[in-house]
Amino acid sequence: MIKIVDKYIFKELIPPFLVSLVFFSFIFLLSRILDIADMLVNFNVSFGAVLRLIIYSVSFFLQYTIPMSVMMAVLFVFIELSGSNEVLALKSGGISVLRLFPSVLVFCMIGTFLTAAMTFYGLPWGKFSFKKEAYEIAKSNMAVSFKEKTFIDSFQGFALYINEIDQEKNIMKDIFLEDMSSAQVPVTITAPQGKIKQTKAGYSVELFDGSIIQIDKKDESVHKTNFGIYSFSIDLPESLTEEHIEKKDEKEMYFFELKKYIDGFETKNSKYYSAVLRMHEKFSIPLACIFLGLIGFSLGLRNKTGKKSSGIIYGIFLFVFYYILFALGLSLGESKPEIYPPFAAMWVPDLIMFLLGILLLYLAVKEKNINLKIFGGN
């Protein structure tokens, strides 16, 4: 009888988990999907490249959506069981509420291992691959670096404005360029038309039938020179150099890379504490699956109405609460490590959710009302 109940509960947990995982991953993906769609529509980026960017993005959202989906699945199932009086029937048959938890615990542990796979492998792979793919797109597509009707100041020593760009011919129209490389004599260049070519170091630019305006600060005189062809080169910004792309940050490092990186610090500075935070993060987020599952189990038992809409509110509220604690820990752990060390920053949110889960489970087992309506009290 017990094994049948365990199998039944475990089987019931899978569909809401998968639905929640797809739903919440899509919500997280919306923050990037607009930029990715813009690349597809306006910058002639191939569909394959866009698809790869989406896959890379999903890989590092999953470390948050898996724990959330675990909690929502447990909450939904036990709201349904409580609302249909199945829990009451099991209790009448001599099966205690606590005996229903082992199947939930196994499910939460599977969620823990899946989340750990994301924090240890998925997140570093996804973020680093996303950065490299974006770099390749920027290298092969001028429009990613140059946009119409936008002042561009990411190139060292230049501020550039282009009114119109012909993507197929790589022709620019109505160009305004300020050369700030010389602080003594600023140079302003305007041209009705120009061409641009990709080079290994950056871009080669040719402007046609324009003018160069120089202002002498000493006597405040203005000098204007017309030209037929004006050629110059623009180096890639540091963020788009191959050296920068190949260099990993803390989020892009696998476990042993991160450990080696931390061991290499001789003095404890902000980068050291940031790396230590990421190390603890790889363990604390996966274990949150168990604590969030415990909360979902306890709240589901207390919901007698069987309304899943209330479960969505409970689940989102509690996950947002956990995420606020987590984000606060990240912020304080990086800015005030002497007050709030990285270990506490990453593990206090888990501890709070564990204690909250134990409290709610105690109230559920003792069948005591919870006064706050948000926790399903009567």
The Cα–Cα gap between 10 and 326 comes to: 29
DSSP 165: E
Distance CA(90)–CA(197), nearest Å, equals 73
39 Cβ partners below 8 Å, 6+ apart? 45, 49, 50, 53, 137, 144
Q: Label residue 375 by pLDDT band (50, 70, 90).
A: very low
For the chain, the C-alpha Rg in angstroms (whole number) is 28
Percent of the chain predicted with pLDDT > 90 = 28
Tell how far CA 23 is from the center of its chain.
16
Closest of 245, 251, 261 to residue 121, by C-alpha: 251
Q: Is the pLDDT of residue 182 over 80?
A: no
The predicted pLDDT at position 307 comes to: 62
Q: What are phi and psi of 183, to 5 degrees?
A: -70, -25
At 141 the pLDDT is 61
Q: What is the DSSP string of 250-310?
A: GGG--HHHHHHHHHT-SS--HHHHHHHHHHHHHHHHHHHHHHHHHHHHHHHHH--S--HHH
Q: What is the pLDDT of residue 38?
A: 67
Q: Which residue has the tokens 């790889």?
A: 282
pLDDT of residue 139: 65
User: Does residue 179 sit in helix, strand or coil?
Assistant: strand
Confidence of residue 324 (pLDDT cuts 50, 70, 90): very high
Tell me the Ramachandran region of residue 171: left when phi exceeds 0, alpha when psi lies from -120 to 50, beta otherwise: beta
Question: For residue 309, what are its two tokens?
Answer: 């809409």
pTM of the model: 0.75
Predicted local confidence at residue 151, as pLDDT:
77
Span between the terminal Cα atoms of the chain, in Å: 31
The answer for residues whose C-beta is within 8 angstroms of residue 138's C-beta and 6 or more apart is 144, 145, 240
The two three-digit tokens of residue 359, written as one number: 């409290």
pLDDT tens for each residue of 210-220: 998 887 767 67
Helices 47-83 and 101-117: crossing angle in degrees, nearest 10, is 170
Answer yes or no: are the C-beta atoms of 347 and 286 closer than 8 Å: no
**What pLDDT sits at residue 4?**
80
pLDDT digits (tens, 9 = 90+) for 124-160: 999 998 888 877 776 666 555 677 777 776 666 677 8
Q: Which of 122-126, 266-270, 355-359 has the lowest mean pLDDT?
A: 266-270
Mean pLDDT, the chain, integer: 81
- What's the rounded mean pLDDT across residues 65-70? 94
